[in-house]
A and B are shown apart, each in its own frame.
Chain A
Amino acid sequence: MSSTATTTRILEIEGLSARYGHVEALRPVDLHVDEGELVAVLGPNGAGKSTLMNAIMGLVPTQGQVRFRGREVPRRAPAAAAALGIVLVPEGRGIFAPMTVAENLELGAYLLNDKQEYARRHARVLALFPRLKERLSQTAGSLSGGEQQMLAVGRALMSEPKILLLDEPSLGLAPRIIEEILQKLGELNRQGLPIILVEQKAPLVLRLARRAYLLSVGSIAAEIDPRTIKSHDELVHYYLG
Chain B
Amino acid sequence: MNSFITIWAKGRGNLATWLLWGLASAFVAYTFATGGYLIAVLQFAFIYTVLVTGLNIFMGFTGQVSFGHNAFAAIGGYSSAVLTTTYGWEPLPACLLGLAGALACALVVGYPVLRLRGHYLAMATLAIGLIVYEVAVQWQSVTQGYMGISGIPSIGVGSFTIGSDRALLVFLMIVAALALLSAAGIRRSRLGRAFVAAAGSEDAARALGIDVAHYKLIAFMISAAYAAIAGSLFVHAVGFVSPEVFGLPMVVMSFTMLYVGGIGTIAGPALGAIIISVLPESFRAFKDYQDLAYGAALIVILIYAPRGLASLPELWARWRRRSA
Contacts and interface: CB of A to CB of B under 8 A. Distances in A.
B208 A159 contact: yes
Could you say which of B196, B203, B206, B207 has the most chain A C-beta atoms within 10 Å of its C-beta? B207
A155 B205 CA distance: 11
A83 to B, nearest CB: 6
A164 to B, nearest CB: 11
Nearest to B63: A98
A94 B199 CA distance: 11
Interface string B160-180: 000000000000000000000
A87 B208 CA distance: 6
B243 interface: no
A49 B268 CA distance: 42
Nearest to B203: A59
Interface string A54-73: 10010100000000000000
A30 interface: no
A82 B205 CA distance: 10
A110 interface: yes
Given A78-B206, A110-B209, A96 B200 contact: yes
Contact of A99 (B190, B193, B209): B193
Interface in B221-264: 264
A29 B69 CA distance: 46
A75 B207 CA distance: 13
Given A107-B210, A108-B208, A90 B203 contact: yes
Given A79-B209, A103-B193, A96 B201 contact: yes
B200 A99 contact: yes
B211 A79 contact: yes
B206 A96 contact: no
Contact of A97 (B194, B200, B210): B200
Given A90-B203, A90-B204, A107-B205, A96 B210 contact: no
Given A98-B196, A103-B193, A110 B210 contact: yes
A106 interface: yes
Contacts of B204: 90, 93-96
B197 A82 contact: no
A94 B193 contact: no
B209 A159 contact: yes
Contacts of B197: 96, 99, 107
A110 B205 CA distance: 10
A94 B196 contact: no
A53 to B, nearest CB: 9
A222 interface: no
Contacts of B196: 96, 98-99, 103
Contact of B207 (A59, A103, A106, A111): A59
Nearest to B211: A79
B203 to A, nearest CB: 6
Interface in A20-79: 54, 57, 59, 78-79
Interface in A84-125: 87-90, 93-99, 103, 106-108, 110-111
A98 B200 contact: yes
Contacts of B190: 110
Contacts of A87: 207-209
Interface of A: 54, 57, 59, 78-79, 82-83, 87-90, 93-99, 103, 106-108, 110-111, 155-156, 159
8 contacts: A54-B203, A78-B203, A79-B211, A82-B206, A96-B196, A107-B197, A108-B208, A156-B208
Given A97-B200, A98-B200, A110-B208, 19 more contacts: A54-B203, A59-B203, A78-B203, A78-B206, A82-B207, A83-B209, A89-B207, A90-B201, A94-B201, A94-B203, A94-B204, A98-B196, A98-B199, A106-B193, A107-B197, A107-B205, A155-B208, A156-B208, A159-B208
Counting from the closest, the 6 A-B pairs by CB-CB distance are A94-B204, A82-B209, A96-B200, A78-B206, A88-B207, A94-B201
